[in-house]
Each structure stands twice: as structure tokens, then as C-alpha cells.
Amino acid sequence: MGQGGEPRRVRAHDGELGAAVARAQEGDEAAFAVAYRLVQPALLGYLRGLVGNDAEDVASDAWLEIARDLGRFKGDGAGFRGWTATIARHRALDHLRRQKVRPRSSALEQDVLELPGPHSTHDQALESISTEAALELVGGLPRDQAEAVLLRVIVGLDAPSAARVLGKRPGAVRTAAYRGLKRLAKQLGVQGVTDDGPRTLGESK
């Protein structure tokens, strides 16, 4: 299975993250701080796509639960990213229920205008999606597509891991992420993202 759809900068730290989590489970507070530093930026990006400006508050709630339940986690660095994303998603949904609001559903035109110019490669398109302004665009996608794109691109999960977070089949997540990226590419004026079907996300058939 290829992993071209995951940000390399996220994947590169999975070994370090797994080791830090293992030490943290033995009571090493400094190691927990390392795990937090490696996971928090992507987790915050994911939460911004779900709850907007309340992302930091929701992330704080999520990390309290992560710290409390750390002893129950079993897995490696990539597994920890998936586990923390699941907890963060539950806290985000709780927050939205309390606020009685839905995730933002429309992109602001000014944000579209502030996005980088057209790119010619898929990797550059993914990088542009990681920007603050592009999170506004992601918020304009249908909910299933938005969450799939956020988990695949921002958090860097593979399709099976993202599927576990969302409680869906991997194929459904691949399709939703592909459709979301295709839609974003159209909005961003990016060429090349839509040419080769779902495999654009780096998944082999």
C-alpha cells in the first residue's frame, strides 16, 4: 500500500512518537510532552476544520482525556495519531451538540482569494490544503468529505486508520477523501489532482 497521500512531515516522526508514547505510559512526563508536541499541530488543524475558533478549547479537553486514558492505549506512533484523532473527534462532536451548531459549511470568498496560486502537482495541492485559509474551504465540503480530507491530509492517517476514527469502511473513506480533494482542487484551480482517480491519495488497488 502506498502512502503518498500522507504528509511526509507527519509520517517521519512516527518512530519517535511511538517511542515517546511507550515511555510516557511508564510515567515519563517529558516523553508525554514530546508526544504532545508531535501530535498537537495536526490535531489542532483537524479540530479547526470541525469547530473553527473553538479548536484550542476542544483540543485541551481531548488532551485531558488522552492523558487520563494513556495506559489503555496499545499501538505504535501511527496508531497513537489515530487514537488521539478519535478522542478529539468525540470531544468536537460533544462541543457541537452543546453549541447546537454545525461545522462551518461555507467558504469565505476572501479566503479563496488569499490562497496560493495554481499548482501543477498533487503534493503541492496537498500542501495548499494544509494552510489556514484552505481550512475554510474544507469546511465548505460535505461533512463526510471534509472529515476524510482532514484525517488523511492534516492528521496524516492512512485510509484504514481514518476509517476506524470515522466508523466507516476504508473504501468509503478513500472515496470521500478523493471527492473532497477533487472538489478542493477545482476551487483552488489545481491541475493534476483529478486525473488519476482515487489512487491520487496514494492508495494502491
Model pTM above 0.75: no
pLDDT at 90: 94
CB-based contact 64:36 (threshold 8 Å):
no
HSE, side-chain direction, 13 A CA sphere, residue 67: 15
Percent of the chain with pLDDT over 70: 70
Distances (CA, A) of 189 to 119, 127, 182, 197, 201: 8, 14, 10, 17, 18
pLDDT at 188: 74
Greatest C-alpha distance within the chain: 49
**Highest mean predicted confidence (pLDDT) among 46-60, 99-113, 175-189:** 46-60
Average of pLDDT values for 80-85?
A: 96
pLDDT at 129: 52
Q: If pLDDT is split at 50, 70 and 90, which confidence band does 166 have?
A: very high
Q: In sequence order, which residues have a C-beta less than 8 Å from that of residue 37 and are 6 or more positions away?
A: none
Percent of the chain with pLDDT over 90: 48
pLDDT at 134: 66
Q: If pLDDT is split at 50, 70 and 90, which confidence band does 139 have?
A: confident
pLDDT for 69 beyond 80: yes
CB-based contact 87:66 (threshold 8 Å):
yes
The secondary structure of the chain, three-state, reads CCCCCCCHHHHCCHHHHHHHHHHHHCCCHHHHHHHHHHHHHHHHHHHHHHHHHHHHHHHHHHHHHHHHHHHHCCCCHHHHHHHHHHHHHHHHHHHHHHHCCCCCCCCCHHHHHHCCCCCCCHHHHHHHHCCHHHHHHHCCCCHHHHHHHHHHHHCCCCHHHHHHHHCCCHHHHHHHHHHHHHHHHHHHCCCCCCCCHHHHHCCCC
pLDDT for 205 beyond 50: no
